[in-house]
Amino acid sequence: MGNGSNEARAALSVGSGPVRLDGESGRFRADERFGRMIGRSPAMQIVFDVLARAAPSEATILLEGETGTGKEVSAEAIHAGSSRKDKPFLIVDCGAMPPQLLETELFGHERGAFTGAVASRQGVFEAAQGGTVFLDEIGELSIDLQPKLLRVLERREVRRVGTNNHVPVNVRLVAATNRSLREQVAAQKFRSDLYYRLAVVELKLPPLRERLSDLPLLVENILRGLGNVPAESLVRVRSPEFLEALSRHSWPGNIRELRNYIERCVALKDFGPPRSTGTMTAVPGPESAVNVGQPLREAREAWVSAFERRYLEELLRQHENRVSAAARAAGVDRIYFYRLLWKHGLRTREPSGREPDDVV
């Protein structure tokens, strides 16, 4: 969305309910906040309107949007606006673990169901009884697990791995993806029946480049979250020149990239324009001096190992420990990324496909 008039026209064409406008001014009356979400732009006012109407219902909600657009924050706001707000809100990243581990994470397992299952374990649907389950990166769900999730949604019961008994569950489901599930269905990578069961309410969150008018509001909110920011830094960040530089950037990492950039500017007192390469910061080489007392091969391996570890640490920090997102940013397979984490001590065990607790 480019200019204000285009945004307003788009706003009037979205959603089944009325879009509230303020008289002849064409401004939305809705509040600029919904939960921890912030925005005055027409694009975000549409989002707030849909979420405000959908949150009190029991409808399953599918959130689509690029990485960093606030899907998890939206899910939190949905839960907080529902009658389930005093019950658990549990999150599972469907792209962060192999299918075997994800199955036990979702549905639980009985003792002895597989090697290493020394005790029975509840899955997330049982643990969230009465509350909300947020399945992030639902587009990464393997085709084998999709019918099992569909049965949970249709029958409201789960079957733990290693048993034929079914346990009734009472949860609300919110799912999110940075892919187009419609395209996944067309490519036969996602079941159409599961897609339609998930997309009772379907909402796409706008990328930051389509809501640039929200930049001053977002920057102020980020500054408040940073605590005691020096007065000179506040002046620089709030200056028209700085905000204009922000508006010229494409923000491929969206709100997450903006937050990291503002925090870096304040920490380093460096207020240069954002780099066009996206969210990644340069990872410096190992700080230790070259050890010429080692053979070349050993010295090279030590240098590469130190670089890999620092690269992985920075990548995880940039993506808030979301392994699937970090692996995609690195351009490597998720399992290979896990093996690198294990190799450098950033994960406790090598991935075997049978670990019940796959946590970085």
87 and 161 belong to one structural domain: yes
Residue 189 falls inside a structural domain = yes
Structural domain that includes position 251: 209-268
Instruction: Give the relative orientation of helices 323-330 and 296-318 as an angle to the nearest 10 degrees.
Output: 130
251 and 330 belong to one structural domain: no
190 and 97 belong to one structural domain: yes
Looking at residue 234, what is its pLDDT? 93
Where among 206, 237, 258 does a domain terminate?
Answer: 206
61 and 188 belong to one structural domain: yes
150 and 198 belong to one structural domain: yes
186 and 201 belong to one structural domain: yes
128 and 229 belong to one structural domain: no
Looking at residue 145, what is its pLDDT? 92
Q: Summarize the chain as % helix, strand, coil (round to 5).
A: 45, 10, 40
Looking at residue 153, what is its pLDDT? 93
Q: How far apart are CA 89 and CA 144, in angstroms?
A: 26
154 and 92 belong to one structural domain: yes
222 and 330 belong to one structural domain: no
188 and 245 belong to one structural domain: no
Q: How far apart are CA 42 and CA 65, in angstroms?
A: 17
Number of domains the chain contains: 3
pLDDT in tens, the chain (360 residues): 334 433 332 333 233 333 333 333 334 344 788 999 999 999 999 999 999 999 999 999 999 999 889 999 999 999 999 999 999 999 998 887 788 788 888 888 777 666 666 677 888 999 999 999 999 999 989 999 999 999 999 999 988 887 788 889 999 999 999 889 999 999 999 999 999 999 999 999 999 999 999 999 999 999 998 888 999 999 999 999 999 999 999 898 899 889 989 998 998 888 888 865 444 444 444 444 556 666 776 677 777 777 888 888 888 888 777 788 888 888 777 777 887 887 777 764 444 443 333 333
Tell me the one-letter amino acid at 245.
Answer: A
60 and 171 belong to one structural domain: yes
214 and 201 belong to one structural domain: no
For the question of whether the overall pTM of this predicted structure is more than 0.75, the answer is: no
